[in-house]
Structure 1
Amino acid sequence: MSRTAFALLYFGCIFILCEAESISQKPQAFESFNVSYIQNLGSCSYSVVISTSCSSTSYTRDQISIAFGDAYGNQIYVPRLDDPSTRTFEQCSSDTFEIYGPCAYQICYVYLYRSGPDGWKPESVKIYGYNSRAVTFYYDTFIPSDIWYGFNYCNTASSSHRQIGQRSFLFVIILFALCALL
């Protein structure tokens, strides 16, 4: 293989890896998020593990809510996860919640809601469900007060992966054409 073809292959791989990295998103505020749309399709159990960042406040007295669901409109909502008497959401800790709600398929979105004066910085939220594989959402940022804040990968993840797959395929075709010319 010539040096030119090798260089093209090398830089093409770097391009593809950079594109793949750009899929990961930071949490977003979702002002129009509506927790009133809850289907009651059976009752399922979910295990939710929330890790609080070591750079969070030592503990919070804020009220913390969570809503998560799938791409089909199945939504699980818990109005209060916090319990100041048990020092939930302490700095550098993980809290596990057993939540019961409507059955959902693959969980693809999660939103947290914080209300109070203390502030709170979750590291991650990991959700285990009966009909879905475990999924982790990485926050690592302070949650703004009085707004739903989180991730929605229900539509974007599959289209982003498809776009990278198409670009990768195109790059391979161009590389083969260049190798044939050399």
Structure 2
Amino acid sequence: MKKSKGLVVNYGLKNEGCEKIAKRLLGKKFQVPVGISIAKTNSPKTVSDDAGINDYVKAFGKFVTIGDYFTINISCPNAFGGQPFTDAKRLDKLIGKIDKISTKKPIFLKISPDLTHRQVDRIIEVSKRHKVDGFVCTNLTSQRNNKRIVDRHVSKEGGISGKVVEEKANDLISYIYKKTKNQ
């Protein structure tokens, strides 16, 4: 998206899996802070809430002694089954299970720029009841009706990043700051 200064990302979270990656990183020392970003596996096998939660918890457990902080990605637009954990009840159940794994490392939630303020309010309320230290704003947008998209042909698949999502991301940062300051 050259004219819009954005990218269409349709990568789908491809990787070797938490076991192999954790094994490779275990015991290594890094000169910079290392964040561990966890999303549910992009598979029909993780579509049900319980399977998705178990998938997140498994990965969190594999990395609990690795890295300096965690990002729980509940907003990948390219994941099979959508973004079920942006729903407050489902998120509460997910984070409740993660809370049972002992860690002193900060935990952040990575959220979508496409959420309504009502959805964000519910996510904030759930986060207050759990060991969530903050938010990563934002993931890719899946919306194509953005006035910043000026390119004529944009793929219908995948999420969009770059200048196209900048205003939405900044608005979300501002909104969350106002809702959570001094907390």
How high is the TM-score relative to the length of structure 1? 0.29
Q: Greater share of helix residues, 1 or 2?
A: 2
Q: Greater share of strand residues, 1 or 2?
A: 1
Q: Which is higher, the Rg of structure 1 or of structure 2?
A: 1
How high is the TM-score relative to the length of structure 2? 0.29
